[in-house]
Each structure stands twice: as C-alpha cells, then as structure tokens.
Amino acid sequence: MSDLLQSETITLSEEERLQLRKEVRELCEKFGNEYWRELDPDRKYPQEFVDALTEAGYLSVLIPKEYGGKGYGLTEATIILEEIHRAGGHAAACHAQMYTMGSLLRHGSREQKEKYLPGIASGEIRMQAFSITEPEAGSNTTAIETFAEKTDDGYVINGHKNWTSRIKQSDLLLLLARTTPLEEVDKKSRGMTLFLVDLREIRQNQPNALEVESVRTMFNYATNKIWYKNMKVPEDSVIGEVGSGFKYVLDGMNAERILLASESIGDGYFFIDHAVEYASEREVFNRKIGQNQGVQFPIARAYASIKAADALRYKAAEKFDTGENCGEEANTAKLISSEASWEAANVAMNTYGGNGFVDQYDIERKFRETRMYQVAPVNNNMILSYIGQHVLGMPRSY
C-alpha cells in the first residue's frame, strides 16, 4: 500500500466545507475581475494571486500533514478550484501543483517525498510543470519520442515537448520520456519512465540543456514549447519503477479530470450568477429582460445542467477519496461539466447581448477560458471512446 493511502486523509464536514468556501471566496475577493482583466491583454502570470494561495496553504491541501500539508481529500481540493473560478479567476496558473502531486505522493520514494514535499507545502519549492505531450504524438502518449538514455550515474534526455505549462514559474518538473524504444517493448504502454527534474539545478549547471519558447493562446495561459538537449538527470530522479511511467501518469488522470471538472463548474456558476444579475437589472422595452421567457428559461436550463455536473463531480471525488475505481465518474464528470459550462457561457453571452463582447463585463474573457475544458486535459471525444469501450463494453473505436 502506498504512503499516500497509509496517511490519514482528512475529510471535512459539510459545515467545514462551507467555511472553506467562505475563506477561499474572501481571498479571491482581493483579486477581483479587474485584476484578471488587466492581466489578460499581455497574458501576464498572476504571481500575486498564486503567492496568496500558496501562503494560505491552498496549493498544498493534498500533501499529508506529516509533510506540512493540510492532508485534505480531493473533494476539498475541488471546492477550492471551483470557488476560484466562480469568483472570476482562473486556476490554470497553479492547478498543476494539485494534480501532479499524485505521482510523487503515490509512487515517489520516501527520500523524494522527504526532500521535496515540505518545501512544496511551505511554498519554498514550486511544482507546477508537467511535460508529456509532443507535437506529433498528440493524445497518443505511447508514441512519444523524447528519450532518456541510461548512463553510469543517471540519464541523458533529448526530445521536444509542447503544452509544458508554467515551467518558467516552477522549480520542479515531471517529465515523461521513453527509456526503451517503442519497437522493443511487448506492449506500447511500457518502456516509458517518469522523472522528477530539479529545474534549479538544470538552470544553474546546464543552462543550454533546456530551451523554452512561450506560446500565446486565446486566453491567459502560461504554456510553452520545450526542447531537451542532452539534459543530464541523476538516477534518483526516477519516480517509481523504470519503464512504468505511463501507468503512473494514467493513475493521476482521474484526479486531474475531477479537479478540472470543478473548474468548469465554477465557470458555469460564474456565468449563471452574472446572467441572473444582469437579466434582473437590465431594462429594455420598459421591462426587465429576465421577465422574458426567452431570456429566463435558457438561464434556468443552464443552471440545471451545472447542478447535475456538480453532483457528479462530488460522486467522482468521493469515490477517489475512498480508493474506489472512479474512472467512469471522473471521465463523465469532466465531459458533462465542460459541456454545461459552455452552455452557461453561451447563455450569459446571449443575455448580455452586445455588452457580452465588451471586456469590462468579463463575459468574453471567461467565455474564452471555459472553452478549453472540452479539449483539455483530454478531448471529449476521447472520453466518449472511454465510456463506449470501458463502461459500455463496445469495441475499441480507435
């Protein structure tokens, strides 16, 4: 049994969860829509907001108390992310410190945990970067070509990745690379190894081994293309067993999908909150527009969709926290919540009319942000494939 499962997970009562929501909301009020709006044009990283979350201990909630974290379950972590998004913020600047944590907690060595977890919990060490996807492989992770060659004292890594986010704002990097060529393994999911790379050492002693190129996306998201050029890492940077890295990545995907589902749900509530307020105040033709069924009913329907996704998110998180198989719930929660938030986004845009396209109302900014969840961290078509094959028992569709 892993050290994570041996550690006692703290489950908050409903009253304590309401208090957690209140405290996160109060923190987010210090970073209102104006703060996020001003960062958006130049895609500036919200460093002050991330620092405040770190200081409050919200980014280390999943770290066991013995290492300085709060020791909460995934359910509590989803509440934090939901509230950030409902307040108008976006957790893309920091959410990886939650969902990448599982690989270290579940599969890292005792030495790795003792070396890094206390520093992550205190905020001294930032663990924000996850490097898996490659331009040619895309969603077919087993086709990655980044290779880690074994040496006497470690590995030398060469390759090219994209969608490696927050590497400039991180001290540690989780990197998936092949250690056995694809043509030499009996199963394509084998022969990949997960490395925990100390970027501080790389920047200081091997500055030419890492090339980073920022990528501008349609919303404020600190992501990059990466080239690894003869980057040397020590043998003790391997997470778990050599060749089993893909399994460890898959192990963390349910947590990632549940956490990002909660962000979608937070976005959905943001759109509903704003649409309701605007429809209740805006007058056209001498009546509140919210009196019109053509305005009111779409808002009510979008709210119902968000509530359904919300319930499924809690079910998925509950099963994850109790160690049950939650693949169906995690994938379905991500699917339903991403579609529900997009429905709410369109409803809010229609409610605001032309004003929805004006940056000062914040609808267009959140509209751009919430569209991501139908594509990342996994495309919804891939989730439908999972449900069709693994839940409904139909033949593999790809």
Q: Each residue of 283-302: pLDDT tens digit?
A: 999 999 999 999 999 999 99
pLDDT tens-place string over residues 235-256: 999 999 999 999 999 988 999 9
- At 175, list the tokens: 């990197």
Whether residue 150 contacts residue 179, with contact meaning beta carbons closer than 8 Å, is answered with: yes
User: What's the CATH class of domain 14-122?
Assistant: mainly alpha
Architecture of the CATH domain 247-391: Up-down Bundle (1.20)
Q: What average pLDDT does the segment 45-72 reach? A: 95
Banded pLDDT at 202 (limits 50, 70, 90):
very high
Q: Residue 332's pLDDT is what?
A: 98
Is the Cβ–Cβ distance between 374 and 225 less than 8 Å?
no
Question: In this structure, are strands 192-198 and 238-239 parallel, antiparallel, or unpaired?
Answer: antiparallel
What pLDDT is attached to residue 100? 84
The proportion of the chain whose per-residue pLDDT surpasses 90, expressed as a percent, equals 94
Q: Mark 296-308 as b/e (b = at least 16 C-beta within 10 Å).
A: bebbeebbebbee
Average pLDDT taken over every residue of the chain? 96
As a whole number, mean pLDDT of residues 144-154 equals 97
Question: What percentage of the chain has pLDDT greater than the value 70?
Answer: 98
Please report which residue ranges of 57-193 form alpha helices under DSSP H.
74-86, 96-99, 101-107, 110-122
Give the C-alpha distances (Å, rounded to integers) separating 229 from 147, 165, 284, 348, 384.
11, 19, 62, 47, 37
Nearest 5°: phi and psi at 162? -125, 175
Nearest one of 97, 99, 80, 71 to 330, comparing CA atoms: 99
Enter the CATH code of domain 129-244. 2.40.110.10
d(CA 363, CA 275): 9
Q: Residue 196: name the closest of 98, 251, 115 by CA.
A: 115
Q: What is the pLDDT of residue 99?
A: 83
Q: Where are the domains of the chain?
A: 14-122, 129-244, 247-391
pLDDT on residue 177: 98
Q: What is the pLDDT of residue 98?
A: 87
Task: Count the Cβ atoms, other than its own, within 10 Å of residue 79.
Answer: 24
1 confidence band (pLDDT: 50, 70, 90):
very low
Q: Residues 22-42, buried b or exposed e (16+ Cβ, 10 A)?
A: eebeebbeebebebbeebbee
Split at pLDDT 50, 70, 90, the class of 7 is low
Higher pLDDT, 134 or 100: 134
